């Protein structure tokens, strides 16, 4: 079986698809999120300087969400037209529950991305579950806030730390279940800590650069259970391959980046 591992698309498509692809796996962040990212990074810098955060407006939230929605739907339809396609959401997504709250808050009609992605033929959005595909057990882990990431990048933020503790505990439970079922491939958004995860991007906040942004929970899982492969993304500049014991970790990068993996 020949797998096309697509790095976080962010609304972009591969120009030339390799031949004889049997399966496509996307590491998350289907849609383009330039508007939301710009605001998020501006607020990170403002908090660092002790300035109040810039607030969302009715017009801005609508533009941000439609930017993600339209580009994500385009990506899903494109790849699912080539081969069966499986994807996780990553950290760029329009949570349907959040959409309902925003519709009520801003009194506007907004698109429901998760719902509409599930309507696309040959495309599967998988969250914290295992799929048996041609004899391979593939575990799809949703993006989560790892406690170690909050300590490193948002030290002192009690609200985010509280959320991270819950999400990290949940991720540990899911990974324990994956281990019990002896999965062959782990698909996750963030890389394992210290592996293809160093922040060097020009657009990143200055105090983030040079730090490791991977997950220690994922690293611990790989070291202990040694799946054959781990497919991830998130830290775009970390694109590449590296082994942890018998496990080959592939950070597939972003936008038009990809790797092909041959499995007999």
155-194, pLDDT tens digit by residue? 888 999 999 999 999 999 999 999 999 999 999 999 999 9
DSSP-based three-state secondary structure for 140: strand
Quick: pLDDT tens for 38-55. Answer: 767 777 777 777 788 777
Quick: pLDDT tens for 73-106. Answer: 999 999 999 999 999 999 877 677 888 888 888 8
- 20-48 burial code (b ≥16 CB/10 A, e <16): ebebbbbbbbbbbbebbeebeeeebeeee
Quick one: pLDDT band at residue 11, thresholds 50, 70, 90? very high
Q: Averaged over 247-252, what is the pLDDT?
A: 98
Within 10 angstroms of residue 253's Cβ, the number of other Cβ atoms is 23
Closest residue by Cα to residue 61 from 21, 129, 23, 109:
109
| pLDDT exceeds 80 at position 257 | yes
- 136-150 burial code (b ≥16 CB/10 A, e <16): bbbbbbbbbbbbbbb
At a CB cut-off of 8 Å and minimum separation 6, what does 211 contact? Answer: 152, 153, 198, 199
**Helix (H) or strand (E) segment spanning residue 62:** helix 58-80
Rounded to two decimals, the pTM is 0.91
Instruction: Quote the domain boundaries for residue 212.
Output: 2-262
Structural domain count of the chain: 1
CATH number of the domain at 228, please.
3.60.21.10
In angstroms, the Cα distances linking 130 to 139, 192, 237 are 4, 20, 28
């Amino acid at each position: 079986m020949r797998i096309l591992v697509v790095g976080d698309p962010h609304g972009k498509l591969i120009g030339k698809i390799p031949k004889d692809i049997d399966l496509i796996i996307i590491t998350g962040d289907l849609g383009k999120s330039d508007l939301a990212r710009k605001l998020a990074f501006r607020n990170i810098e403002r908090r660092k300087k002790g300035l109040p955060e810039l607030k969302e407006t009715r017009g801005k939230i609508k533009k941000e969400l439609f930017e993600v929605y339209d580009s994500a739907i385009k990506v899903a339809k494109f790849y699912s037209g080539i081969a069966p396609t499986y994807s996780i959401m990553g950290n760029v997504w329009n949570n349907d529950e959040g959409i309902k709250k925003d519709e009520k808050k801003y009194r506007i009609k907004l698109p429901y991305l998760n719902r509409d992605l599930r309507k696309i033929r040959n495309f599967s959005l998988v969250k914290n579950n295992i799929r048996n595909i041609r004899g391979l057990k593939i575990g799809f882990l949703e993006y989560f806030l790892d406690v170690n990431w909050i300590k490193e990048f948002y030290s002192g933020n009690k609200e985010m730390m509280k959320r991270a503790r819950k999400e990290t505990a949940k991720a540990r439970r899911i990974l324990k279940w994956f281990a019990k079922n002896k999965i062959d491939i782990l698909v996750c958004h963030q890389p394992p800590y210290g592996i293809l995860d160093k922040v060097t991007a020009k657009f990143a906040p200055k105090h983030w650069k040079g730090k490791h942004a991977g997950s220690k929970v994922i690293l611990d899982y790989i070291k202990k259970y040694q799946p054959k492969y781990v497919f991830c993304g998130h830290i775009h500049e970390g694109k590449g391959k590296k082994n942890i014991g018998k496990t080959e970790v592939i950070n597939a990068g972003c936008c038009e980046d990809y790797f092909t993996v041959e499995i007999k």
